[in-house]
Amino acid sequence: MTTRAMGPLAGLGWLKRGINLGRHNARAVLGGAALLAVAALLPSVIQLVVQGVFSPGQTGLLAIAAIATVISILILSPLIGGYLRLIHATEHNRPAHATDVLQPFKAGGDAGRLIGFGLLMTALYLAVALLVIGLFGDGFLEWYMKVLAMSQNPPTDASALPKMPDGFGRMLGLGSLLALFLTGVYAIGFGQVALGSRPIGGAIADGVVGTLKNLLPLLVLAVVAFLMAMVLGLVLGLLMLLVGGIGSLIHPALGVALMVPVYLGLLLVLYVVMFGVMYHFWRDVCGDGVAPVESNHSVAA
């Protein structure tokens, strides 16, 4: 499989096209993202309910988190594949519907390969994390377990929190770079499984090679996305304070109720942009590499 190396500013193009995603069929793109977002929240909600009911100890918390992660992979991997296919259809002006994200669960939808890829990539993330912690995170696991134990009964005094271990910043920096690399592998690999009909091993190999060829545009994208996230977070915080403050003048519950749609709307937009960037990254590196011809007419959902 041939992978392409893009220019250093290609990441800005992926981000721009991710922001413009849905111009052909906004109903399908936004509706599919909403279904995906709801499915992504379910394992976390179940995890919180189970923890609240049983009040497990440290070992129990880790076991519940592990089970919730596996459930999340089993549910989300096919849905992500379905959403990438939905995006592919809309970008090529083909009919698409929000419920197309469920297509992998149908016969012949390749749900098994998508789940297998998700499980293997999660194991790879975990292996890399343990390697970094083992080499540079002396005392990190002990610190983390203390923080996890205190999370059930948070202290009122910040000085009671355990001190971060030495070398935490170095470990975090290296971990962030490796996480960025694995994110590139994940994006390309998922595209190859969902859209390129590649076997899992071949998809991961394409992801590694394609990411290595495009480290610079990925780094530029990460820096720009981080800066945009800071600005967006500030604007969102001010907007929620304003909306919540106005609603609270009538009733505190109304203030909270008005902030929820703002948060959910932002979450939906982030999903669309994130998977839009993922799709365009895959397409430029491993797909046809040519932007679909623009159309003046949107496809009706």
Average pLDDT over residues 89-99: 94
Q: Please check the confidence at residue 182 and state whether its pLDDT lies above 70.
A: yes
Q: Please check the confidence at residue 274 and state whether its pLDDT lies above 90.
A: yes
What DSSP character marks residue 250?
A: T
The rounded percent of the chain whose pLDDT value lies above 90 is 57
Binning pLDDT at 50, 70 and 90, where does residue 157 land?
Answer: low
Give me 297's structure tokens. 């007419």
| Residue 290 in domain | no
Average pLDDT over residues 264-270: 89
pLDDT for 239 equals 85
| Residue 126 in domain | yes
Identify which has the larger pLDDT, 258 or 223: 223
Q: Please check the confidence at residue 291 and state whether its pLDDT lies above 70.
A: no
pTM of the model: 0.86
Q: Please check the confidence at residue 90 and state whether its pLDDT lies above 50.
A: yes
| Residue 295 in domain | no
Domain total for the chain?
1
| Residue 196 in domain | yes
| Residue 76 in domain | yes
Q: Are 189 and 204 in contact (CB under 8 A)?
A: yes
**Structural domain boundaries enclosing 113:** 10-285
Q: Please check the confidence at residue 54 and state whether its pLDDT lies above 90.
A: no
| Residue 3 in domain | no
Q: Are 81 and 105 in contact (CB under 8 A)?
A: no
Q: Please check the confidence at residue 137 and state whether its pLDDT lies above 90.
A: no
Residue environment code for 96-135, b if the CB has 16+ CB neighbours within 10 A, otherwise e: bbbebbbbbeeeebbbebbbbbbebbbeebeeeeeebbee
Q: Please check the confidence at residue 75 and state whether its pLDDT lies above 90.
A: yes
pLDDT for 28 equals 96
pLDDT for 253 equals 81
| Residue entry with tokens 């960037």 | 277
Predicted confidence (pLDDT) per residue in 222-257, tens digit: 999 999 999 988 988 888 888 888 888 887 788 778
What DSSP character marks residue 9?
A: T
| Residue 100 in domain | yes
The terminus-to-terminus CA distance of the chain in angstroms comes to: 34
pLDDT for 1 equals 66
pLDDT for 138 equals 83
| Residue 101 in domain | yes
In angstroms, the Cα distances linking 7 to 15, 163, 279, 299 are: 14, 43, 17, 32
